[in-house]
Amino acid sequence: MSAAKENVITVSNLDLWYGAFQALISVNMAVEKQKITALIGPSGCGKSTLLRVLNRMNDLIPGVKITGEVLLEGRNIYAPGVDVCALRANVGMVFQRPNPFPLSVWDNVAFGLKVAGQNSRAQVEEIVERSLRGAWLWDNVKDKLDHSALELPLDQQQRLCVARLLAVEPEVILMDEPCSALDPIATAKIEELMLELVKQYTIVIVTHNMQQAARISNYSGYMLLGEMIEFDETSRIFTSPKDKRTDDYISGRYG
């Protein structure tokens, strides 16, 4: 038992509906600072929906209704007047398919800085290089910063998406099955990168790959049909789950 856990995000009694369909049912979860939290469970159980709740990405979907509370550093991100752009810079997301902008490598990383009004060239240069190094991409791209990001191999595109987030100094990085389009070698590299990033950032990852959750995460939440069935330290979820449904899933009897 660690003495002083510091939670960056606390989700309480969270319900979410897409129109008449309830996709999240009274979900509770705490995300500890500078740890990797994995959301696992069968397809359609609400993992991506819950991840999107954490930076209000569901706001973009018409007909979504949310009740309950999501605190980021003690402040309700759904309170009136919250700056959603600032929230999404602070809680950035990496998607299943790498989605760099159809711009140069450089402009992808500098994009958020420009939006934020940073126009010191020297500052931007420093931050772009630092972000690319932080995503383990600098050596791959330093000679082609002006090339289109779309020319990069998929795994480098995914690390570019990480670099794009790092440039605006997030606190939390959300990753929705970030390796599902990648081969095993590229996957291993992203996993290693996550273990490096978590020294500085807090990470929440959705994965359908239970070995991945077991390898890299500190905490795991098992979801089923919109409910958080069990949330605990990953070692416990995978060795002695309390709920029979978790046990059935991790032992391969279901899902």
Binding site for ligand ADP (CB under 6 A): 18, 21, 23, 41, 43-49, 61
Comparison of 156 and 217: residue with beta carbon closer to ligand ADP: 217
> Contact between 212 and Mg ion (CB under 5 A)?
no
Our finding on whether 187 is near Mg ion (CB under 5 A) is no
Phi, psi values for residue 253, rounded to 5°: -80, -10
- Among ligand ADP, Mg ion, none, the one that 45 touches (CB under a kind-dependent 5 to 8 A) is ligand ADP
Q: What H or E segment, with its residue span, contains residue 112?
A: helix 105-115
- Rounded least distance, CB 64 to ligand ADP, Å: 8
For position 48 contacting Mg ion by CB under 5 A, the verdict is yes
Q: Rounded to an integer, what distance in angstroms lies between the CA atom of residue 179 and that of residue 14?
A: 27
- Determine the interface stretch with Mg ion among 47-55, 76-84, 97-105, 163-171 (rule: CB under 5 A): 47-55
> Minimum distance between the CB of residue 208 and ligand ADP, rounded to whole angstroms?
8
DSSP track, 11-29: EEEEEEEETTEEEEEEEEE
3-state helix, strand, coil in the chain (%, to 5): 40, 25, 35
CB of 131 to Mg ion, least distance (A): 26
Q: How far apart (Å, rounded) are the C-alpha atoms in residues 247 and 241? A: 6
